[in-house]
């Protein structure tokens, strides 16, 4: 419970920094658009120009907030498959946060007959291991 309160406090600080940076960005001169696309696509927020949402400062704050909200030790995980081979899988659950998943005979993959593939979004539930990995009982593929 204490870590949940700490995470909530950190998210509040991140939101305050985000609102301050949005206010400063609205006053400052517009900066040229970055040549590379942003690492995280952010949905448009009504009334906020996309040039502000795509600024490196806002992107880094959003990436940091995603990392704060991500839990890696619970019995479930949701993320993008970055590696899959036979009984081993790795998920990217947040920017820069990865989790090992071990499959076993009897792991149920829904929809039935589906196979996880690199880049696919999946939900995994199972039991946690002392090293932080997850022994998967159920994997649901999002297409």
Please, what's the largest Cα pairwise distance for the chain? 59
**What is the per-residue pLDDT across 62-74, written as a single tens digit (0 to 9) for each?**
666 655 555 556 8
**Rounded alpha-carbon distances, angstroms, from residue 58 to 4, 30, 41, 81, 119:** 24, 14, 12, 26, 25
Question: What is 25-48 written as a DSSP string?
Answer: HHHSPPPPPPSSPPSS-----TTS
Q: How confident is the model at residue 132 (pLDDT cuts 50, 70, 90)?
A: confident
Positive or negative, the Cα torsion across 85, 89, 94, 95?
Answer: negative
Of 23, 80, 7, the C-alpha closest to 55 is 23
Of 96, 109, 103, the C-alpha closest to 133 is 103
β-pair type (108-110, 97-102): unpaired
- Name 123's Cβ contacts closer than 8 Å, sequence gap at least 6: 76, 77, 78, 139, 140, 142
Domain segments of the chain as ranges: 2-69, 76-142
**What is the per-residue pLDDT across 82-92, written as a single tens digit (0 to 9) for each?**
999 999 999 99
**What is the per-residue pLDDT across 27-36, written as a single tens digit (0 to 9) for each?**
445 544 444 4
pTM of the model: 0.53
Q: Please state which CATH number belongs to domain 76-142.
A: 2.40.50.140
Name the average pLDDT for the chain. Answer: 75
């Amino acid at each position: 419970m204490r870590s949940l309160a700490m995470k909530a406090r950190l998210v509040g600080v991140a939101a305050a920094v985000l609102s301050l940076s949005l206010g400063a960005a609205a006053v400052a001169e517009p900066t040229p658009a970055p040549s590379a696309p942003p690492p995280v696509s952010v949905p448009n927020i009504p009334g906020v120009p996309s040039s502000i949402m795509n600024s490196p400062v806002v992107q880094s704050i959003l990436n940091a907030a995603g990392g704060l909200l991500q839990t890696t030790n619970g019995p479930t995980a949701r993320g993008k498959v970055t590696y899959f081979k036979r009984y081993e899988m790795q998920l990217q659950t947040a920017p820069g946060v990865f989790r090992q998943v071990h499959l076993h005979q009897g792991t149920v993959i829904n929809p039935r007959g589906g196979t996880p593939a690199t880049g696919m979004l999946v939900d995994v539930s199972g039991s946690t291991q002392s090293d932080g990995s997850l022994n998967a009982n159920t994997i649901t593929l999002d297409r």
